[in-house]
């Protein structure tokens, strides 16, 4: 009887953890950000890898770490930065 109770309690705890994890994973409802890579956010979309390098270099000049990835639709490149650098990156690019 004691083993059955331990098994039942263990299964209930696992079920609660599963429900908690399912709830926590549903908190990010912004699908646009899921297209980005993890924490990175898009700050520019450019037509070519050369243009992407120019944007990346400009952002690096002001201390913003940036990376470039191909656009999922195959139309150019996307320049991505961390959320903490997003405002500085946008202001820098708009000022140019």
Confirm whether 50 is domain-assigned.
Answer: yes
Question: Using CB atoms within 10 A of its CB, is residue 36 exposed (0-12), middle (13-18) or buried (19+)?
Answer: middle
Q: Is residue 68 part of a domain?
A: yes
Read off the tokens for 82: 């961390």
Tens digit of pLDDT for each residue in 32-86?
445 647 889 999 999 999 999 999 999 999 999 999 999 887 789 999 999 999 9
The counts of H helices and E strands in the chain are: 4, 3
Q: Which domain holds residue 86?
A: 29-95
The rounded distance, in Å, linking the Cα atoms of 15 and 12 is 5
CATH code of the domain covering residue 63:
3.30.70.1530
Residue 87 lies in a domain: yes
Quick check: is 56 in a domain? yes
- Tell me if residue 29 falls in helix, strand or coil: coil
Q: Is residue 33 part of a domain?
A: yes
């Amino acid at each position: 009887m004691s083993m059955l109770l331990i098994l039942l309690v263990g299964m209930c705890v696992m079920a609660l953890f599963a429900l908690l994890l399912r709830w926590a994973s549903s908190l990010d409802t912004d699908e646009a950000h899921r297209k980005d890579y993890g924490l990175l956010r898009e700050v520019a979309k450019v037509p070519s890898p050369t243009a992407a390098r120019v944007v990346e270099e400009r952002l690096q000049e002001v201390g913003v770490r940036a990376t470039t990835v191909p656009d999922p639709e195959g139309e150019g490149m996307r320049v991505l930065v961390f959320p903490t650098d997003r405002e500085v990156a946008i202001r820098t690019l708009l000022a140019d």
